[in-house]
Structure 1
Amino acid sequence: MFGLYEISKLLNEPARLEGVLASVANVLSSFLQMWCAAIVILDEAGEPEIVATSGGEAKTLRKEILPQAVIDQLVATETPVVVQNIAADPLFKDAAPRIAADLDRKVSFLGVPIKAGDRVVGTLSIDRVHDGRTNFRFDEDLRFLKMVANLIGQSVRLHRILSADRQRLLDERRSLEKALSQELADKGRWPTPKVGGIVGDSDKIRKVMQTIGQVAKSNSTVLLRGESGTGKELFARAIHDMSPRKSKPFVKLNCAALPESVLESELFGHEKGAFTGAVNQRRGRFEMADGGTLLLDEIGEISANFQAKLLRVLQEGEFERVGGTKTLKVDVRLVCATNKDLEAAVTRGEFRADLYYRINVVPVFLPPLRDRPGDVRLLARTFLTRFNEENGRDLSLSDTALHVLERCYFPGNVRELENCVRRTATLAGHDVIDRGDFACASGDCLSALLWTGSGRHNANEPAAAGRSPLPAREPVAEETAGAPIGGVSLPVHQPSPLPCGHAEAGSCPASTGRPTDRERLLEAMERAGWVQAKAARLLGLTPRQIGYALKKHGIELKRL
């Protein structure tokens, strides 16, 4: 039973089938003394597609370990093959070189077919060496091998379904890209759709708007990728508003803000009495978005267990409420957003590859603000206009103030620019905002502390995409030591002497000296989009400790 448990764990791992089957063969050989374990998976034509053996002996499999005649008999008869002594059996006449090393010992062979449904998809075989010390029974071995073969057959079937599904999604993506290219060729230039709330006239923003304008016409899943503060939620809303589903609900959920148990209830809903506090039946976000669009923000932060649950909904379009038995079907257009490097997460085993291919049908990369400097003036004036309307003011920005904003690096992107404009407008004592009114002039600029990169690529874009790295202007270098806050050490960021971009070189107080506990806490909250749970992970603390630290330093939470 221990061997069956270990094999079932291996077959449930999200890894390449070849590697998994090789591990299964090694378990059979190493832990259960079933020597020369061999697993052969056949393709549609009946030829070996995957060969996995204990000890990596695949190159000699067909000639010295498992003759083709044995494979043919297992597939044709769909019944086990048992050979008491392979040295005397005609099926193994080509196996003499291997047997020669064990002339003084009798070797028996056991093989069973691997089935997926009612079809044979491969074979599983082992050898038993009679050493005079080990007692074994063929009937018990055959029962065990049949159970292992059933597990392998199910895994092969699931891998082939996922492979076909992935290929279909890739074909769909290529078709969409081809359609976009054809439309560009036909019209000479894509029209740029106008969407309320999105401000910008740079080439990069035009390209993004043209892409989502075309993608919105279909029901394909969209993955919005970009740094924090680039407006992923705004672009998701634009996709919905330009789609045929615009009259239906647009529902959004931040996956990073909730623990797994609450996230499951939020997405799928729950029945009355499903858990403590479930006093009424509750519809989940999937039900609420039926016929419309569902935005899953911070999709890269969900746990491995919940990734498997989400994958089933995305594949089948059906689910059950927590504590319920009734299967519900929904028609939802899914838009996902993340600022995480999903390719690296898949490589590390933190994000399921099958879920990655499911959500990465049409990726849309949102440019950081530093790549669209021509939009800074337009955005700053727009934010100031909104502030004036909300507060009954009549403020304006001078040319020197706009020049300061254009030179800023803005690691927090559009969100940081808006906060900068609103903070400056709130504290301004006159109607025209000048360069001296910004935080860097009064010693309160924390922009340098928000940027801790060091010549990185955009964390949201695949390294293989060939995109250029960020500019070399790096305001901050990161250290690992820290002073305690709430009984736990926080990481310290040691700023470099480079300017943050708000003012002349050396004039920003945030670019010199060691930051305080309060500044480090503010930095983490800004980087986490003011989500306490995410900031806790950045600092290696618990959400309770973050809450205590915020209260201790008198920091009020922002609602973004």
Structure 2
Amino acid sequence: MSAKKRLHFCATKACEKSLQNDCSICRANILSSLFRISKVVVESSSLSDTLAVLLKIMKEDMGVIRGMVNLLNSRTGKIFIHDSIGLSREEETRGVYSIGEGITGKVVETGRKIIVPVIGKEPNFLNRTKSLLSQEDRELSFVCIPILRGKKVLGAISVERVCEDHELLAFDVELLGIVAAMIAQAVELYLLENEDKHFLRMENERLQNALKERFHPSNIIGNSKPMLEVYSLINKIVRTRSTVLILGESGVGKELVASAIHYNSVDADKAFVTFNCAALPESVIESELFGHEKGAYTGAERARKGRFEEADGGTVFLDEIGELSLPVQAKLLRVLQERTIERVGGNQTIKVNIRIITATNRDLQQMVKEGRFREDLYYRLNVFPIVIPPLRERNSDIIALAEFFVSRFSKKFSKSINGISIPVQEMLLSYPWPGNVRELENVIERALIIAEGDVIHGYDLPLSLQKTAVSGSSTQQGLGAKVNSVEYEMIIEALCDHKGNISAAAETLGLTRRTLSLKMQKLGINYKKYR
């Protein structure tokens, strides 16, 4: 954002300084913003409408990365986030403080502003929302201002932002102080009418999110909303021994979900037996599942237990259940109905005490219509279905998964690779992942083998991923595609280092601004993404 769009109540000298610093704007440019706020405060009977305008101005005119309006529930002594910008709903519900707790709690307790030049150096900054994840976040500045009605503290307004000249944070304090005074009456009226109802709702959401976080299977990576729903279902089913049907595309991790169900259940110390129904020919599957007696067929020199007997007391996981033939389906139906089996070549009925979990990437309902899957078996299996979302629908998990695989393969190959570059992250996020998590794992393994530095670069990835992000290379192969990939990565890194400043990035790369602009246009790079 340009310097003229930053906040600064200016004397002449201060105004000159502001034009060289990305932390302030001239007073004349902020008057219209203050007028907009005052107008909505006067005309609106809704605190939410007022804060919506306030937060929009904080983002557009002040360059705020995250902004929060915290209100105090005087009866409980809890401070909660009423509205915010830059935070998810779950992050908002986590941001609850007691009076005196953390920076926000101290501001509400004392009624005095607090300025934190660098968040990462302030031990009292608790990051209760868990929104600060990267090292770049820890370099942000933080300003927190009390909302006062007379001597009564009603809450606080706080912002997180980039500000290289920390002395100029004082101008943020001036503006936020004016805004806090303007909205104080609206806040007081809102709290009188709604504080108990609002707090109870926020507390309920916080507790629900805490339960979701507590039950997070250790063998599964991901905190996206679709995966949280899967964890919730797992949490419910582990308390029973009901049959489970896991549905999802190939490579989404159905076996991981099956093992999470077993190892978080009361039978976790019992056997967990897996069997892939598509891995063996039909003539062998029956013997593998049900076992056989001595002499049942040529080569059966001794009796042998099948997978169902081996899992007695525990869990059987049957992957690719849609590949079973109709005769084997009929025998499986008997196991589900009666929990009994007969070995191949035998006539003795054997009782088995097992939970059966099945999985498939097929449309079983369609197979039933086509006569390729028994309808009665389908309804027996579909007691508790769990649908695993494909990777393209859980975009926020991709980087976490990639970093997990980097860590794993770095140890496996004894290489000191500790991260992935920003251009690589963009390539991973823009790729559709038809092979899901399994494909991502293979891509990272290959990249770890090829990589020579301590970070994975774009040119370490397969060409298909490079083409997805580098639009200009879609028709090129070989050297041309490689050159485009290297250029793309270097330009992205330069823009990130200079917060989207094309002139500074061009200087770093040894190019003219015009040359860099042409290359960015060719590669489909938008500098605004890196501000």
TM-score computed with the length of structure 1 as normaliser = 0.47
Larger relative helix fraction: 2
